[in-house]
Amino acid sequence: MIQAINSPFRYAGGKFYARKLILEYIPPHSHYVEPFAGGASIFFAKDKAKNNWLNDIDEELINVYLFIRDYPERLVDALKDEVATKERHFFYKNIFQPQNSLEKATRWYYLNRTSYSGIMNMKNCYWGYGDKYSMRPENWGKNIIRTSGKLQGVRLTQLDFEEVIHQVEDDSFLFIDPPYFNADQDKFYSYPFSRECHYRLCNLLKRSQNKYKFLLTYDNSPEIQDLYSWATVIHEKEWNYTINRTDDQKLTKAMKDGIKEQKPSKGTRYKGREIFITNYAPTQEIYPLPQKLAKTSY
């Protein structure tokens, strides 16, 4: 069995710091599906199911996943001589024009590992690397190979979430982590998720809730609580996380939760606050989080 590992990416809105809380809610399952995979922190933190499906609407993200799964050595070779500098970040963001899918994957991976909070919307994709807090380029290859091992046999698609949910096997477990309802998404994501999309997701889950179990994570808002009043459980959750300034970061603002902008100080601690929504009653911790995951570079 392949051990729990960290996501290969930094990802805005990802669940890196909430993994232990989420794992405690996951019931036994043989089919595991993430319609909004993003950095897929939960998939990587848990044991693999018999069948696994990661989906995201972001074509470039899925392209990188496909290279990591199917051609990891090619991506490792493309990145082997890279260094993390502002100049290289500027080059990949503003000058480099990828000519094929490997070059697209190389560009995306480099920018993700060196940008502030892993934000890949080019309008807000700022330099955000620091040797003390970021995974160093000399470790990127090992990270890719390790991730490739866990992705073997995993289905990877770039579809609208509705197509995915319509196709899931009966008795599957779905971890659903859509963009926040009240977030200023233009800052973080390349693909918009409108109010209509939130309502469409809710209606779809309500209509088909007896087919599978789902855990849905959202920002804690009255609108979402009202939308999902039909669910079995709505639990308010809170966790600690830290924003570390990179060694020479010059940003004057931190885009926190898509709402408030403020200058981060080194080691500033914040509270993550969300609601967990399920169509089942959670019973016990199924996938305890290995202690070492909490200590590795993000």
Q: Assign 183 a pLDDT band (cuts: 50, 70, 90).
A: low
Answer yes or no: is pLDDT of 105 > 70.
yes
Predicted pLDDT of residue 124 = 86
What is the SS3 assignment for 54? strand
Predicted pLDDT of residue 284 = 52
Place of tokens 């973080």: 188
Q: Assign 2 a pLDDT band (cuts: 50, 70, 90).
A: low
Predicted pLDDT of residue 230 = 97
| Contact between residue 128 and residue 115 where contact means Cβ atoms under 8 Å apart | yes
Q: Among 71-80, 112-121, 140-149, which stretch is predicted with the lowest mean pLDDT? A: 112-121
Predicted pLDDT of residue 271 = 65
Q: Residues of the chain with pLDDT > 90: what percent? A: 65
CATH topology of domain 16-295: Rossmann fold (3.40.50)
Predicted pLDDT of residue 239 = 73
The set of residues, in sequence order, having a beta carbon less than 8 Å from that of 150 and lying 6+ positions away, is 2, 5, 44, 48
What is the SS3 assignment for 206? helix
Q: What is the mean pLDDT of the chain?
A: 85
pLDDT digits (tens, 9 = 90+) for 144-168: 999 999 999 999 999 999 999 999 9
Answer yes or no: is pLDDT of 99 > 60.
yes
- The number of CA neighbours under 13 Å toward the Cβ of 129 is 19
pLDDT digits (tens, 9 = 90+) for 184-198: 655 666 787 899 999
**Mean pLDDT confidence for 249-273:** 47
Predicted pLDDT of residue 246 = 45
Residue 251 CA to residue 253 CA, distance in Å, equals 6
Residue 154 CA to residue 266 CA, distance in Å, equals 38
Predicted pLDDT of residue 119 = 87
Predicted pLDDT of residue 165 = 97
Q: Which amino acid is at 68?
A: I
Residue 137 CA to residue 129 CA, distance in Å, equals 11
Tokens of 131: 């040797």
Residue 231 CA to residue 151 CA, distance in Å, equals 32
